[in-house]
A = this chain, B = another copy of it.
Amino acid sequence: MSVIPESNVDVLIVGAGPAGLMMATWMAKCGINARIVDKRGTKIFNGQADGLQCRTLEILDSLGFGHRAWREANHMLEICLWNPDENGIIRRSDRIPDTIPGISRFQQVVLHQGRIERFFLDSIAEASDIRVERGVMPSSLKIDESAVEDDAAYPITVTLRHLSEEEATPKQSSTSANGQSVQDGLFRSNLAKDDTQDLLDAAKINAKANSEEVIHAKYMIGADGAHSWTRNQIGLKLEGDSTDYIWGVLDIVPITDFPDIRMRCAIHSADCGSIMVIPRENKLVRLYIQLTTTSKNGDNSGRADRSKINPQMILESAQRILAPYKITYRKLDWWTAYQIGQRVGTSFSVHERVFLAGDAVHTHSPKAGQGMNVSMQDSFNLGWKIASVVKGHAHRSILKTYQSERRRIAQDLIAFDHKFSRLFSGRPAKDVMDAEGISMEEFKAAFEKGNMFASGIAVNYGASAIVAKEGSSEEQGDGTDVSVANAKHRVISDQSLCSGITVGMRIPSHKVLSQADARPWHLHEVLPSNGRWRVIVFAGNTNDDRQRDKLGKLSEVFSAPNSFLNLYTPKGARYDEVFEVLLVHKAPRQSVTVLDFPEVFRPYDEVDGWDYNKIFVDEVSYHEGFGDIYGALGIPQDGCIVIVRPDQYVSYVGSMEEPAAVNSFFAGFMKEQHAKDEAPTNGTKV
């Protein structure tokens, strides 16, 4: 018998769907030693999720490929609501902007999951040697509980099985329609049985010695979807409802006289159910079509009878709902059917060593277009935290904030989806006396309110060691205790300082000009996701003596040997490896140059000279208008200091006169890198 190979890895990711790929992207950007495996032999090519929220686009942009999604996607601008009139004929009753104007520089768009996964794969490959290992799945998982608090340990042991190509190819992935073979999503749908166990059994039979290996990992992420094997192994459960109405999904190039087919539409027919129209890229339109008008449990398993569902039957339902308009198609790109409940995990990790993300910890209906978005945002929240712990920059204690921050979001999502699904699946009320029917006014109000939630912009993380705000961390989170480890470091923001920056929310983005070359940048563009914390000093008009004075003193504190910059930046690392110190001032741009500002904002490098990319000014641009970031964010004349997390969420807002608070804030969870007197040295300057 040959020896099973064993190796160590810092982070093991199981599942290369949106959640797993986002995690791998963070690992790639932060230079972490990580592996990502997926049981499937290929990535998906069509179908699946399609909607990208504003916040997701901001995140993809921070990773360097938002523009690819933005360019290829279909942009949805307007939602049209169609309801039965007094004669029961559907009519357009309302129009709502699809994205609330002003909340983001992006608007909600649609693009299929396969393309988005492609962008992730390209980005991972560009930044690292990490590659998705396909046809590989874990077959056992052990955690050494005695070692979970040891930073140097690899307490997780996983056996990986390498599948043969045949094993890794999903079965039943296409249907015959119109004489062509068409991909469907049933193999991943909850209407089909999960095949994880079958795959494992099959692999066992074929097993050769070299088809198994053992991995020791510091951290593991189960991003293995709704049937999560990882979740089962660590014994975590999902809680919540398990039934819903049955819906069919058709991705077609429609041939129709329905006039709003290129708008996002919510159509309630009088008696035949509802349709959601999602216009997509390449002339495609996705129709979410209600197949039953009452919630249906079918057989014992609570599942509908799969064998009766096919594209023709779904189309006929659509035709009934859309009448008197006609609809048909010649091109069918993908189809599926689902019946999904709203459920959320009781816990998101064990020992802050094995984490669950995405569909593995929350499931809900896809109509609100949230699934992929929330899944990616789970691991967007977790990835930088794990990276900074693995690198030895931060204490393990920050990992608890993953659950406190994301579980509440999942709970909110479930509640939203539950309400929305009910309103959308119900029969419209005939009149005010029709108590069983759904009021269309209520539906519209829910839709409008839902829009803010669905944008992802409203996310507001509770108080914790990394969100310095008033209140109890347990109450503001999901019940997890994530307060600061050491009470003497408790720092509280002065939230009243600027009305437009909310501690716990992502910092809004407005345009600022680079001082060195007058180029306009959206603030978010200078906060790319590379694992760095940002300390942004809004210094006001630095031609004013008082402001210049404060800036000078602040710079001294930031440059002192015992400053956060010097204590927590590893010896020999680049000056902005952990923290980037940025300045946004309001002095007239042409009255100053980069060299007029303190050196902490323009660090010097022996090879590259001064850094010209850290000083910005709030001024009108030649070609792209005026960002007015001081006005938009309500920044006072006195200026302020803002600490922004590596994921763009705001940790702290405070006065320029208390620069030492920044030191205290980071003291709560960062690890000192060297003795206080060995500050990193700068090169000799010109």
Chain A interface residues (CB < 8 Å from chain B): 67, 71, 74-78, 95, 97, 99, 101-102, 107, 253-257, 259-263, 279, 283, 326, 328, 330-331, 514, 516-519, 590, 593-595, 606-610, 612, 621-623, 686
- Give the contacting residue for A623; candidates B67, B107, B260, B326; CB below 8 A: B107
Q: Chain B residues near A331 (CB, 8 Å)?
A: 607-608
Chain B residues whose C-beta falls within 8 Å of the C-beta of A254 in the assembled complex:
609
Given A330-B606, A330-B607, A97 contacting B622 (CB threshold 8 A): yes
In the complex, what distance in Å separates the CA atom of A263 from the CA atom of B519?
Answer: 10
CB distance B262 to A612 under 8 Å? yes
Q: How far is the CB of A19 from chain B (nearest CB, A)?
A: 27
What is the count of identical protomers in the complex? Answer: 2
Taking chain A's interface residues, is the majority helix, strand, or loop, or is none over half, making it mixed? loop
Residues of chain B contacted by A101 (CB below 8 angstroms): 622-623
Kindly identify which residue among B77, B78, B95, B609 contacts A255, using a CB–CB cutoff of 8 Å.
B609
* CB pair B253 A609 closer than 8 Å: yes
Extra A-B contacts (20), CB below 8 Å, given A77-B518, A283-B608, A330-B606:
A75-B519, A76-B517, A77-B517, A78-B518, A95-B590, A97-B622, A99-B622, A99-B623, A107-B622, A255-B608, A255-B686, A256-B686, A259-B594, A261-B516, A261-B612, A262-B514, A262-B594, A263-B517, A263-B518, A330-B607
Q: Is the CB of B686 within 8 A of A257?
A: yes
Known interface pairs A101-B622, A259-B593, A328-B686. Does A607 touch B253 (Cβ–Cβ under 8 Å)?
A: yes
Contact A77 B609 (CB under 8 A): no
Residue contacts A-B, CB under 8 angstroms, 6 given? A75-B517, A95-B590, A97-B623, A253-B607, A255-B609, A262-B594
Are B253 and A608 closer than 8 Å at their CB atoms?
yes
Residues of B close to A607: CB separation below 8 A: 253, 330-331
Across-interface contacts of A99 in B (CB, < 8 A): 622-623
Collect the chain B residues with CB atoms within 8 Å of residue A595's CB. Answer: 257, 259
B78-A622 in contact (CB<8A): yes
Complex: chain B residue closest to A683, CB-CB: B255
Which of A74, A256, A518 is most buried by chain B, counting CB atoms within 10 A of its CB?
A518
Q: Are A326 and B593 in contact (CB under 8 A)?
A: no
CA distance A686 to B255 in the complex (A): 7
